[in-house]
Structure 1
Amino acid sequence: MKVKIKDTFWNERIDIVRKEVIPYQWEALNDRLPDVEPSHAIKNFRIAAGDESGEFKGMVFQDSDVMKWLEAVAYILEHHPDEELEETADTVIDLLQRAQQDDGYLDTYFIVKEPEMKWKNLRDWHELYCAGHLIEAAVAYFHATGKRKLLDISCRFADKIDDVFGTEANQIQGYPGHQEIELALLRLYETTGEERYLNLSRFFLDERGKEPHYFDKEKEERGEPGPADWDGYFKRYSYQQAHLPIRNQTEAVGHSVRAMYMYTAMADMAAKTEEKELEQACHNLWKNVTTKQMYITGGLGSQEFGESFSFDYDLPNDLCYTETCASIGLVFWANRMLKMDINHQYGDVMERALYNGILSGMDLDGRKFFYVNPLEVWPEAVQARKDKEHVKPVRQPWYACACCPPNLARIIASLNHYIYNVSENEVFVHLYIGSEIDFEVAGQNVTLSQQTNYPWGENVNFEVSLKEKERFTLALRIPAWTSDAALKVNGESVSIEKSIEKGYVYVNRTWSDGDKVELYLPMEIQKMRSHPNLRHNAGKIALQRGPIVYCLEEIDNGPALQNISLKHNTKLRVEPGNDIANDVLVIKAEAEKTDPSDWGDELYSAATREKQPITMMAVPYYTWCNRDPGEMLVWINEK
C-alpha cells in the first residue's frame, strides 16, 4: 500500500520537519549551531572512518542521533523528492560505510574510544540500541529510495550481531539494557525475509529476565563486585524491564522509553507468530499502562528519577517526566497492537499521544524542543526547587542528550504509515488525516481518498476510485470521545450500532467508482475527570474537545492559575484562536478566581474571601509556550 498525506493540519507540521527541523538538526549534528552544546556526532564517524583524527565526544549512544536523522530524511523523501537532501544523506551513508569495520561492526564509541570493551557492558552502553536505530534508518531509506547501500551496511552489522549472540558455547547469551534492536530486527525481517533476524529478535526478547541474570554475569566478568541489582535504581533489573521474563510481566516498571520499545517488539512479534501467551502479556501491559499509569496527554513516566514509571495512579502534574520519546514509543506500541488486534482503544491512545504528548515536544516553528512535557508549570518553582529542575518553562534549542528532537522528526515524517492497515479484503482507518491510499483488492488497484478538517472539524469524507466493481470491507474507528456518530454511504444512512465491533464500524459492500462515505464525529467539549485513586487531580477537571487536550496559560488568564475554578454547570464555548496558530480553536468560559491581594499578610485564615469573575481561556496543550512564557495548567479546579 502507498499513502500520501494531503492534510492541512499535518502537512504544515511535515513541512516544518522538512524545511526547518531536518536542516536545523543537520547543522546541530555538524556542530554549526551557535550557543548550543556541540553534538560531535558526525565528527565521531569521520574519526572512526579515519577521515580525521580526534577523540570520541558525546553520549555513548551519540551515533543514534545520526541514524534517527537519516530515518527522518528517508520518510521525507518518500513523498518529497529532494536531490540535494538525498545527496547529503548519501554522503552520510558513504561515511558510515567507511567507518564500518571489516567484520560488519559499526559503533563509533567502541571503534574510537574503547575497542576492547565491545559487548562487555550491554546493560549500560547502548551498542545494540544504536544498531537498532541504524537498522530502522536503513529499512526506511531502502523503501524510500530503492538504494541498498545503507540496508547492506545494516545487514552486515545484523549478521555480525547474529554471530556474536545466541545459545551456542562461543556466543553471548545476553540482551541489551536499552531495548531497540528487538523491534528493528523485526522490521529488517519484514524487508529482507531473512528468518535469522526474526529469530534473533525473539532471542533477545526470550532471554530477558531469565535467572541467573545476564547483567550479573557480565558485571562479574568486568571484575565489578556484587550483583547488578544492588547498584541502586539505575542498575536494578526492573529499570531495564529485566526483572521477569517478558511473558510474566503485567505492570509497567522502569525506564518508560525502554519499556515502550520492548512492548512494541513484543506486540510485533505476537502479531507475526500468533503466539497467544505473548499476545496476552501485551494485553496485560497495555491495560496497566493506559488505565493506571498514563497521563491524559498520552505522556508516560511519572518521575524524573530514572525517567520512569513509579506505581499505579501516581501521576503528579508538576513533577512528571513524560519524556517526548516515551509518547513516541507509545505510538509505536499502539500501532503494533492494532496489527495484532483491531480495537479502537489502540487507535484512541495513538491519537491522544500524537496530538498532545508528542506535538507539545516541539514549538510551532520547529526550532525548539521539550524533552519533558509537564502538565503544570510554575516557572518560579522550576527555577528554585531541586526536584523540579528537570522541568523547563520554555523549550530548548537542543540537548546534550538529544534523543527527542530527531525522534520527533522521524515520527512526524512517517505519519503516513500509521493512518491505515490493509489486509486481503479489508482496509482499516485508524487516524482521521486527509490522505490518499492506494491498495490492491483481488489484483485490482483501489484508491481511497480521505478529506477532513480534523482535529477541529467534525466531518470526515471518503471517496473510492477503482475501475471495476469490487467487494471489500472499509472499517472506520469510532473514537471513545465521541457520541452520536453518524455514517452515510452515497447519502444513505448506515447503522453504526449494527456494524460495530471493538469500536470499528465495518462497511462490507461491493464498491463502485466514485462511491462516497461520510462520517460525522461530534466534538462536544468534555470535562474529563480522573479515577478517584489519582489523588493529584481530586476535585479537578481537564478540558478536551475531540482528540485535543487543553490547558490554561498565564498570558491569557493572569498568574496564579491554581486559583481559577469552574462551576460544574458552566457553559463552555469554542472560538477561533488564530493569534496562536492557523485554524486553532480555543475554549472560553466564565470562571472565578481568588485574588491573593485580598489576603493581606496572613498565611492562614478562617475567613471566607470572595472570588472574582473572569473569562477563562484554554488553549490546545500542544501549543503552550509559543507566546510569552509563564505558568501553565491542565487540571482545573471544579466547584
Structure 2
Amino acid sequence: MIFLKSIENVQIKDTFWRSYLETVKKEVIPYQWEALNDRLPNTEPSHAIENFRIAAGEAEGEFFGMVFQDSDVAKWLEAVAYILKDEPNEQLEKTADEVIDLLERAQQEDGYLNTYYTIKEPNNRWTNLTDNHELYCAGHLIEAAVAYYKATNKRKFLDVVCKYADYIDQVFGEEEGKIHGYPGHQEIELALLKLYEVTENERYLHLSHYFIHQRGKQPHYFDEERKRRGQTGPNWYIGGNQYNQSHQPVIEQKQAVGHSVRAVYMYTAMADLAKKTNNESLKIACENLWENVTQKQMYITGGIGSSEHGESFSFDYDLPNDTSYTETCASVGLVFWARNMLGLEKNRKYADVMERALYNGTISGMDLDGKKFFYVNPLEVWPKACNHRFDKRHVKAVRQQWFTCACCPPNLARMIGSIGDFIYSTEDNQLFVHLYIGSESAVSIKNQKVKVIQETNYPWDGDVKLSIEIESATEFTIALRIPGWCKNPVVKVNNQLISVEHLENGYLYINRTWENNDQIELIFPMKPERIWSNPKVRENLGKVAIQRGPILYCLEEVDNGKELPAIQLPRQSILQEVNGTGLFEGMVTIKAEAYRLVENTDDLYVNNALLKTPCIIKAVPYFAWCNRQPGEMLVWINEDRNV
C-alpha cells in the first residue's frame, strides 16, 4: 500500500502562523473547553462533556444537544493533540487524559461509543444512518485518537477507537447478516484511512473502501431505511439523495452537489483511498470533482457551498456574494482535500487552492483574539439587510461567541494546530515544498537526516530562504511550488540563479548533491493586483477584487464609510501598499484613489447621471475583517472604466 508522506515534526516559527497557534493554544482551546462544560455566559449550553458522564453512569440526566454533540469533544481533543505536539503542556495533557478516561468509561462492552444512543435510544443503534451521525461521530473520535497517539505516544485513546472500529466492522459490510449501509454525513471514511496508517490493520482500509464504494448502489440504502422507519412520503432532503452525495456511485460523480462539508470530507477520503490502493477510476473521479468545484463553484476566498438552503453547492457559476453560505468547515475540508490531491499528483493547482483557503476562507471564521467565530463567511455584508431580510438571516455582521451547532470553532482549531502537516511532503527521495511558512523540520532521505530551515515573512513578503543541514553530501531532489499568483519568480541556490522556465505542473525540480549549509533563496514579488471573475458569475460583472500574494482584500465601513457599493475603482488607479497598520503584526493594507456616487436628489429614480466625488479607499485582508467596529463589508468592488 502507498502512503502519503508528510513531514510531521515541523516546528512553526514564522510570525503569521505562530500567532494563530498561540491564539489556539492560549485562547481557543481553553475557551472551547469552557464551552464544552457549559461555563460560557450568555451562550447556548453544549452539555457535551456532561453527556459522556451520563453515558458512563456517573451523572443523572437526559441527553442534550445535537445528535452529533460528541464530535465537538473529539475535535477539541484533536486540536489539543496538535498543540501538545507543538509544545508540551503538562496540565493540558492531564485534562485531555481525563477526558479520554471518561470516554473509555462511557464505551459500551461491545465497543460502541455514542452518547446520544447510549442515553436516549439504546435499542435503536444504526436505525437512522441518514440523519443521526453515528458514523460521523465515530470518525471524529478516530481522527482525534490518531492525532493524540502521534503527539503523546499514549495508546489508551487509540485502543478505545480500535475497539469501536472493530465493532463497526462487525456490523457493516457486504456480507450476509451485516448492514449494507453507509453514513449520511461522511467522515468515518477518511478517519479509517488514518487509523490504518498508524495500525497497519487492513480491516480499517477495507472498511473505508466499503463505505466509499457502497455509496449510491441500488437499491438505495437510505430510501430503504426510510421505509423501515415508516416514512413513506417524499425524501425531504434538498435535492433528494444528492444532498449527501449518495445519488450515484462515487466513481460516476462529476459535479459537486449537496451539502458542501459532507462532499469535501468524502472527496478527501476518496483521494486518500485512490492513493493507497492505486485506484485509477477513483483518481479520475477526484480530478473531475476537483475541476468542477474549483473552476465553477468556488469563491475567490476559497469558500465553497454557496447556498444556505442545505448548506450546499447549487449550480455552476452561482456565487452570490451577499447570501453566500461558505461555511468555515467547508473551507477547512477543502484544505484537507487539497492535501490529499497532492498525494495523487504534485500539481500546483492543488497547493494554490490549499493556500487560498488557508489564508482567506478558513481563518476568516475566527476573530483575531480567538474568542468569536463565523459559521458563515459572506463576501458582502449589509448589516441592516441581515437584520431585516429572511433570505439573509444566516449572514451575521459580527462573529458569534458560540453556536448550537458548534462544528466550526473546533474544526478551525484542529486545522490551525496541524498547519505544519501541509507544508512539505516526501516521495521517492524527493522533498516537496508546498507552502511557504517559517519553520524547522527534519526528514529522512536516503537514510540521511535532512533538516530544513525555512525563513520568511510570508504572506506579507515573498522572500523565502531555505537552509539545508545534512551530515554528508547526498543527491536528491527538492521540488518547489512556484505560486500561481507570482508573475516573475527568482530562485537561487547558493547565490546562483536557477532557471524557472521549465516547471513541472507548477513545481521547480532541483536535483543535485546537497551539502551541509546549502541555501535556496526564493523571491516571489508581491504587489497588489486586480482580479476579475468569469463573466458567467453574474454577480461580479463590472466588478473587481484586490489581491496581493495569497491574500484577498476587502473594504470595510470603518475605513470607507457606508454604502460601499457606491464606490467605483477606476481601472487606471494605482493600488498602493501601506505597511504596519497595527491590526495584525506585519499586515499590509492597500489604498487607492476612487470615486463615490453621491445623492444629488431626494428622488428614488432619476434620468440623469449621478454625481461622483473623489475618495481614497482602504482595503484590508479579508481574513481580518470585523475585528474593529461592526459595519458593511465588500470584496467585489464596482469598477469604473470610463475615467
Using structure 2 for the length normalisation, give the TM-score. 0.98
Q: How does 1:220-619 map to 2 (within 5 A)?
A: 220-226=227-233, 230-234=234-238, 236-498=240-502, 500-596=503-599, 598-600=600-602, 602-619=603-620
Deviations 1:435-468 (A, max 9, x none): 1120112211110110000000110100000110
The answer to whether the aligner puts 1:101 opposite 2:108 as a matched pair is yes
Q: Secondary structure at the match of 1:204?
A: helix
Determine the C-alpha separation between the residues in 1 that align with 2:350 and 2:42.
Answer: 41
Compute the displacement of 1:576 (Å): 1.7
Using structure 1 for the length normalisation, give the TM-score. 0.98
Contact 1:189 1:197 in 2 (8 A): yes
Compute the displacement of 1:578 (Å): 2.1
Q: Secondary structure at the match of 2:123?
A: helix
Determine the C-alpha separation between the residues in 2 that align with 1:609 and 1:344.
Answer: 45
Determine the C-alpha separation between the residues in 2 that align with 1:161 and 1:578.
Answer: 53
Deviations 1:329-383 (A, max 9, x none): 0000000000111000000000000000001000000000000000000000000
1:55 aligned partner, one-letter code: E
Indicate the residue corresponding to 1:153 in structure 2.
Answer: 160
Compute the displacement of 1:234 (Å): 4.0
2:231 aligned partner, one-letter code: E
Determine the C-alpha separation between the residues in 2 that align with 1:396 and 1:266.
Answer: 33
Indicate the residue corresponding to 1:632 in structure 2.
Answer: 633
Contact 1:426 1:473 in 2 (8 A): yes
- Seen in structure 2, the aligned counterparts of structure 1 residues 234 and 157 have a Cα distance that, compared at 3 Å, is farther
Q: How many residues align?
A: 633
Q: Secondary structure at the match of 2:10?
A: strand
- Identity score, percent: 61
Out of 76, 97, 100, the position equivalent to 1:90 is 97
- Seen in structure 2, the aligned counterparts of structure 1 residues 235 and 533 have a Cα distance that, compared at 3 Å, is closer
Out of 72, 86, 111, the position equivalent to 1:79 is 86
Determine the C-alpha separation between the residues in 1 that align with 2:580 and 2:182.
Answer: 50
Determine the C-alpha separation between the residues in 2 that align with 1:224 and 1:324.
Answer: 33
Determine the C-alpha separation between the residues in 1 that align with 2:36 and 2:181.
Answer: 32
Contact 2:529 2:575 in 1 (8 A): no
Compute the displacement of 1:609 (Å): 2.5
Indicate the residue corresponding to 1:49 in structure 2.
Answer: 56
Q: Secondary structure at the match of 1:117?
A: coil
1:599 aligned partner, one-letter code: T
2:430 aligned partner, one-letter code: E
Q: Secondary structure at the match of 2:243?
A: helix
2:472 aligned partner, one-letter code: E
Determine the C-alpha separation between the residues in 2 that align with 1:591 and 1:374.
Answer: 24
Deviations 1:236-289 (A, max 9, x none): 100000011000000000000000000000000111111111100000000000
1:53 aligned partner, one-letter code: E
Compute the displacement of 1:22 (Å): 0.1
Contact 2:359 2:551 in 1 (8 A): yes
Q: Secondary structure at the match of 1:98?
A: helix
The answer to whether the aligner puts 1:201 opposite 2:205 as a matched pair is no
Contact 1:482 1:524 in 2 (8 A): no
Determine the C-alpha separation between the residues in 1 that align with 2:537 and 2:231.
Answer: 41
1:161 aligned partner, one-letter code: I
Indicate the residue corresponding to 2:4 in structure 1.
Answer: none
Q: Secondary structure at the match of 1:115?
A: coil
Q: How does 1:53-68 map to 2 (within 5 A)?
A: 53-68=60-75
Compute the displacement of 1:223 (Å): 2.0
- Seen in structure 2, the aligned counterparts of structure 1 residues 225 and 235 have a Cα distance that, compared at 3 Å, is farther
Q: Secondary structure at the match of 2:162?
A: helix
Deviations 1:489-533 (A, max 9, x none): 0000000113x1000000100001000000111112121001010
Compute the displacement of 1:471 (Å): 0.6
Q: Which runs of 5+ in 2 are unaligned?
A: 1-6
2:99 aligned partner, one-letter code: V
Contact 1:548 1:620 in 2 (8 A): yes
2:244 aligned partner, one-letter code: Q
- Seen in structure 2, the aligned counterparts of structure 1 residues 629 and 68 have a Cα distance that, compared at 3 Å, is same
- Seen in structure 2, the aligned counterparts of structure 1 residues 161 and 152 have a Cα distance that, compared at 3 Å, is same
Determine the C-alpha separation between the residues in 1 that align with 2:239 and 2:40.
Answer: 35
The answer to whether the aligner puts 1:190 opposite 2:197 as a matched pair is yes
Indicate the residue corresponding to 2:21 in structure 1.
Answer: 14
Indicate the residue corresponding to 1:176 in structure 2.
Answer: 183
Q: Which runs of 5+ in 1 are unaligned?
A: none
Contact 2:239 2:258 in 1 (8 A): no
Indicate the residue corresponding to 2:132 in structure 1.
Answer: 125
Determine the C-alpha separation between the residues in 2 that align with 1:163 and 1:274.
Answer: 26
Determine the C-alpha separation between the residues in 2 that align with 1:235 and 1:384.
Answer: 28
Contact 1:464 1:516 in 2 (8 A): yes
Contact 1:173 1:214 in 2 (8 A): yes
Out of 11, 21, 36, the position equivalent to 1:4 is 11
Contact 1:553 1:632 in 2 (8 A): yes
Contact 1:337 1:346 in 2 (8 A): yes
Contact 2:581 2:589 in 1 (8 A): no
Determine the C-alpha separation between the residues in 1 that align with 2:135 and 2:340.
Answer: 21
Determine the C-alpha separation between the residues in 2 that align with 1:365 and 1:257.
Answer: 26
Of residues 214-223 and 477-486 in structure 1, the stretch that sits farther from structure 2 once superposed is: 214-223
Contact 1:496 1:505 in 2 (8 A): yes
